[in-house]
Structures are given as structure tokens and as C-alpha cells.
Amino acid sequence: MTTRSLKHRFSIRQRLLILLLSLITLLWLGAVLASFLQTRQELNHLFDEELLQWARTLLRSPGALILPPFPDRDNPQRTDLQRPYRLQSLGKGILASSHGAAILPPWRPGTPLLQNVRMNGEEWRLATVTDGRRVAQVAENLDARQDVTGEIAQQLLAPLWLVLPLLALVIGFAVRQGLAPLRDLTARLEQRQPQALQPIAGPVPAELQPLLDALNGLFRRVDAAFAREQEFTAHAAHELRTPLAGLRIHAQLALRHAESRTEREALQGVVQGVDRATHVVEQLLALARLDADQLQRDEHIDVPSLVQRLRAAFAATTAAKGIHLTAQGPSPAILDGHKTWLEIALRNLLDNAIRYSPAGSIVHITWEAEGGLVSRMAVCDNGPGVPANALLRIFQPFYRDPNRMEEGEGSGLGLAIVQRATEALGGRTDADAAAGGGLCVHLIFSPNFPGKCPEKKANAYE
């Protein structure tokens, strides 16, 4: 695994913790080692002073002394812990000596006060003092001294072993607190709606200010791009409506004065083509309106009232085709969102259902509520339906099912607009075959609702 992949694998917090803990551990080990060596050096200095003090005491004493050995709790009988000594007169010979004094080297003029000597195959520390008449020598085994000084140093430095885990906890807490502004910024970004492109306000640490400035600049550019796109779509659609209306009027006038059947069929095709183009323009206007309204504040939508208003709006169309438009659902039933979005979605669904349903059929609008809040809406028709393999594609822009193309003209944008409006309301869309044939399109606003079309009963609708 490369170094770059490792960098991307760990989070900033993990990388900071690894870096800081590694550095602190190295510094701690260095400090412990330095303290250990310094402590041992100071202990050796103290033992040297003690050894000289024993030699001076021996020099002043009239005879033999009993010198205490080094303490060893594990093995108190170790012979190398004893301090051999010898007191001799320069004219009369040895005055006093201890067991093991035979290994001590003979005194010579110029012998230093303290020196390391090798005796009997081991290293010893030898202290030698003289007053011009007598010479006192006392020795300590260096291996035994190092064992004792090492044990004492470890005991003195034992509290330092508690420092490292405490430092780790402090560093972990400090890193977490230091990254708190980054977590707060992340939470604020996650809570924003997709259409919310206003700059992020509020103070942030100096290290995050460049990131915040870059994000706000990106939001402004994206917002400006969306605004230009919406403005272009709306203006283009408005500009197209007038010439299309004029073209339709001229085609209808020409159709009235057409003499041959061929001319009438051609002009009729022109009128149908203009109607189809006008429908596309209307859908584009609806889409532009949907985008432009995305920053409006939520409101409480009275779903039964909106449905009744839409039934009245489509009354003439349904009456002309002999279609019975029914509605069923509890009241009150409220949906929180933008009324424009829900109205656009239902208008497109009703327009499709009426357009593709045969004369004398029924179109159903149903809704369900949980605690007074709408959880699902559905529009079902008795049209030709959609094959199962095409149900996942009908919400794609400009997709038109061949079965329905035979039944009427469409732009292929209606269900795409329905899906977009439903998602803007915080829901999702689904479609399946209606009972008895036809298509049932669902607007699902509750995450727990399965989104299937219920079996319809004749007496269940008004």
C-alpha cells in the first residue's frame, strides 16, 4: 500500500492522533531514558561519596570495621555485595582487613582517590585514602552497584509510566475539541436542503475560513448557473408560446378552406404537431416554475381541498370524454411543503390518466394519512397500462411508452416533473399496475409505507 493511499485511508483525526502520539511517545522515551541515566549518574556519585566516607572512617579507626553490604532483597547472601577493605601502615604492614581483602591491589604512591579496577575477573570501584602514615582501601563490586542503582532509579521513575496514558487521553481530548468546528461545519452542510445555495454564515476558525470561502463561492456560482438556466428555459418557453399559438390559428384557418382530403390531413397533422409542441412548452414552463419556487417556505397543504379544486379544474375535460373522476381519503389530511409542487405533480398525473384512459372509464385519486399527515397519494387509471419492464423507466425525461403513444400525444416530461416535484416535497415516486388494468402512480411521503396500490372497490370512492 502506497503512502498516498494510507493518507486517504485515515481521517484527519486519526492522522493527528497517530502523529502526535508518535512524537509524544518518542519524546517521552527520550525523557525517561535521559532521566534514568541522570538518576543513575547521581546515584553513582552518591555511592562514590559514601565509599570515600567509609575509607576515611577506616583511616581514622584504631582497628577493624564492619561495613554494611549492598541490600538485595532477592538474594541477601550474595558475596559480591560485600565491601572488602584493608587498613595498612606504611611501616608496620596490614593493621586490619576484611574477608576477601586479598583481592585488593597493593597501594602505590600516586594512586587516585577513586578508580575502576578489575579484580578476580570482575569490575570493582576502589576508594583509596592516606594520611602519610596509613593507607585505607575500600572496594565495591560495580555489577552489584549497577543492580542497586538501576533498581533505585526504576523506583524513582515509576510514576513516569503513568504519564504516557494520561498524555494519550489529553491529546485525544484536545484533538477532538480542536476538530469540533470542522464537525459543526460538516453537520451544517449535511442539514442543508439540496436547493439551498445561500452562503454559509457564522464565524469559523481561521484555518477553516479558506474552505468556507471556497464553498460559498461555489454556492454562488452554482446558484447563478441555475438562475441562468431557469431564466433561459422560462424565456424560451414564453417566446415559443406566441408563435405556436399563431401557427395553430393559421393552420386551423387553412384547414377550413382546404379543398382536398390530402390538404386537410396535412393541415390536421400540423395542428396536432403544434398542440404537441405547445404541450412540451407548457411542461417546460412548469418545470421552470418548479425550480424557481424551490426556495419558498413550507406551508401546510390541505390535501382534500386541493384535490377538490383539481377535480373542478378537470371537470370539463372529464365530462367531454365521459370519464368519472373520483377522490377518496381521510379529512383532515395535511402535507407540509410547497403547494405549487404538489399541484404540479397532481395536475400532470391527472392529465396523463385522463389522456390515456378510454371513454367511460374511472380515474381514482386516493390518499392516506397517519396522525392527520398525508403518508401516500395515488392516481390510478383504466388505461392501457405500462409493461412491467418499463415501470422503472417511465419517470425518465422524454421517455414515452409505445402502448400509450397510440392512445394520445405526450411530451415524455410529465412523469419526470412528477418525480422531481415529489422529491422536492421530501417524498418518492413509485408505479405499478392498477387492479383491473391501467397504471397506478404513487407519491410516497412516509418512509415506512411500502408504496403498493391497494385493491380498489366500487363503493370505496365518491
Could you write out the DSSP letters of every residue in 33-55? Answer: HHHHHHHHHHHHHHHHHHHHHHH
C-beta separation of 313 from 387 below 8 A: no
Residue with the bigger pLDDT between 130 and 384: it is 130
How many other β-carbons are positioned within 10 Å of the β-carbon of residue 455? 9
Of the pLDDT bands very low, low, confident and very high (cuts 50, 70, 90), residue 105 is confident
**431-458 pLDDT, tens per residue?**
887 776 788 899 998 755 544 444 443 3
d(CA 129, CA 137): 7
Residue with the bigger pLDDT between 416 and 280: it is 416
Residue with the bigger pLDDT between 382 and 460: it is 382
Residue with the bigger pLDDT between 269 and 296: it is 269
Instruction: Pick the range with the lowest mean pLDDT from 306-320, 392-406, 414-428.
Output: 392-406
- Tell me what pLDDT residue 4 has: 52
Whether residue 180 is predicted with pLDDT greater than 60 in this model: the reply is yes
When the pLDDT of each residue in the chain is averaged and rounded to a whole number, the result is 78
* Best CA proximity match to 54, nearest among 173, 138, 166, 164: 138
Of the pLDDT bands very low, low, confident and very high (cuts 50, 70, 90), residue 305 is very high
d(CA 377, CA 391): 18
Percent of residues, the chain, with pLDDT higher than 70: 81
Q: pTM (2 decimals)?
A: 0.48
Domains of the chain: 12-161 (3.30.450), 200-295 (1.10.287), 296-460 (3.30.565.10)
- Tell me what pLDDT residue 70 has: 53
d(CA 387, CA 439): 10
Question: Which H or E run contains 451?
Answer: none
d(CA 373, CA 195): 24
d(CA 87, CA 129): 10
Instruction: Specify the residue for cell string 405526450.
Output: 410
User: Which value, to the nearest 10 degrees, does the dihedral of the CA atoms of residues 48, 52, 55, 59 take?
Assistant: 180
- By DSSP bridging, strand 324-328 and strand 362-370 are parallel
pLDDT (average), residues 352-361? 86
**5-59 pLDDT, tens per residue?**
545 567 778 888 888 888 888 988 888 888 888 888 888 888 889 889 888 888 8
How many other β-carbons are positioned within 10 Å of the β-carbon of residue 87? 24
- Tell me what pLDDT residue 159 has: 81
How does 423-440 read in b/e, with b if 16+ C-beta sit within 10 Å?
Answer: ebbebebbbbbbeeebbb
d(CA 135, CA 108): 10
- Tell me what pLDDT residue 432 has: 83
Of the pLDDT bands very low, low, confident and very high (cuts 50, 70, 90), residue 459 is very low
**120-154 pLDDT, tens per residue?**
888 889 999 998 888 999 998 888 888 888 788 77
d(CA 409, CA 423): 26
How many angstroms separate the Cα of 136 from the Cα of each of 246, 306, 320? Answer: 131, 116, 134
Instruction: Pick the range with the lowest mean pLDDT from 58-72, 110-124, 228-242, 376-390.
Output: 58-72
- Tell me what pLDDT residue 462 has: 45
pLDDT (average), residues 378-399? 77
Residue with the bigger pLDDT between 112 and 152: it is 112
**277-287 pLDDT, tens per residue?**
776 677 666 66
